[in-house]
Structure 1
Amino acid sequence: MLIGKGSRLNSVFRMKCPRCQEGDFFISHPYSMKKIGKTHKNCPSCGLKYEKEIGFYMGAMYVSYALGVALFVACWVSINLFFPNANVFTQIAVISGLSILLSPYLYALSKIIWANLFFSYDPEAIDKFKRDQTV
């Protein structure tokens, strides 16, 4: 199962905790402009501390860059494939507009992808967290 519970894609696409895949990773929706890209300090379900060290998510810039390049290439190829007579200025306008519209989502996506590179799924994380809370 490619996107079932336990896969990194499940965590990325649902924007859930990389360890338990149940707790929310972000405080709000990626397009909530007041809290854009803000993560919880710890997972509400398993207690995972989302920031390993100060500046941990600075590395997400590399992921964001890769997502931006992928968006550019996908848009450019699609425009040239479906609209072969489109001029350069139209292509620039479409790609720029999509980049601006999708930037909050790509920012959030880059952070959750970065976190999934460093945290792995633990099916018993919630039970361990609950046991530690009762002791």
Structure 2
Amino acid sequence: MLFGKGSKLNSIFKMKCPRCQEGDFFISHPYSMKNIGKTYTYCPSCGLKYEKEIGFYYGAMYVSYALGVALFVTCWVSINLFFPDSNVFLQIGVISGLSIFLSPYLYALSKIIWANIFFSYDPEAISKFKESSKS
């Protein structure tokens, strides 16, 4: 069950709450320039507070760096494999263009990956939240 409910990959690629995997993690789409990278304070479905402490998402910079390096290596190897006669300026242009184009998505991806490192799936989170909000 690689992408099924309960897996970290389900939460990451659907950009859902790491705990209940139903509530949205981000306020809007990663390419919405008005709300780029903004997360909800609490999960709308299970009430999880997304920011454990002030500055919690500073650690996502390391994940973002790793994603950027992976993008660079993937592009560089692909260009050299499929277009062996390409010059270095083409490689720099393609890698720079892709990095700029994908940066909002990679930023959002790094935040959701970082959150999934620290929060785990709880299938009963929504029912617990609804039960506690009744009292």
Normalised to the residue count of structure 2, the TM-score between the two structures is 1.00
Whole-angstrom distance in 2 between the partners of 1:47 and 1:114: 18
Counterparts of 2:103 and 2:80 in 1: how far apart (Å)? 23
Deviation, structure 1 residue 49: 0.1
User: What is the deviation of 1:93?
Assistant: 0.2
SS at match of 2:98: helix
Paired residue for 1:54? 54
- Taking the aligned partners of 2:127 and 2:34, their CA distance within structure 1 comes to 33
Could you tell me how far 1:106 is from its partner in structure 2?
0.1
Within-5 A mapping of 1:1-135 = 1-135=1-135
Q: What stretches of structure 1 move > 6 A for 4+ residues in a row?
A: none
Please state how far the C-alpha of 1:42 moved relative to its aligned partner.
0.1
Per-residue CA distance 1:78-102 (angstroms, 9 max, x = gap): 0000000000000000000000000
Letter of the aligned partner of 2:53 in structure 1? E
Per the alignment, in what secondary structure is the counterpart of residue 43 of structure 1? coil
AA aligned opposite 2:65: Y
Question: What whole-Å deviation, never above 9, does each CA across 1:2-54 have from its counterpart, x for those lacking one?
Answer: 01000000000000000000000000000000100000000000000000000
User: Please, which runs of 5 or more residues in structure 2 have no aligned partner?
Assistant: none
Q: Give the paired residue count.
A: 135
**d(CA) in 2 for partners of 1:56, 1:4:** 27
Gaps of 5+ in 1: none
Q: How large is the Cα RMSD of the aligned pairs?
A: 0.2
Q: Per-residue deviation at 1:113?
A: 0.0
Query: What is the Cα deviation at residue 63 of structure 1?
Result: 0.1
CA-CA distance at 1:73 after TM superposition: 0.2
Taking structure 1 as the reference length, the TM-score comes to 1.00
Question: Take 2:22 and 2:84, find their aligned partners in 1: how far apart are those partners?
Answer: 45
Residue 132 of structure 1: how far off its partner (Å): 0.4
For residue 109 of structure 1, report the CA deviation from its aligned partner: 0.0
d(CA) in 1 for partners of 2:11, 2:38: 17
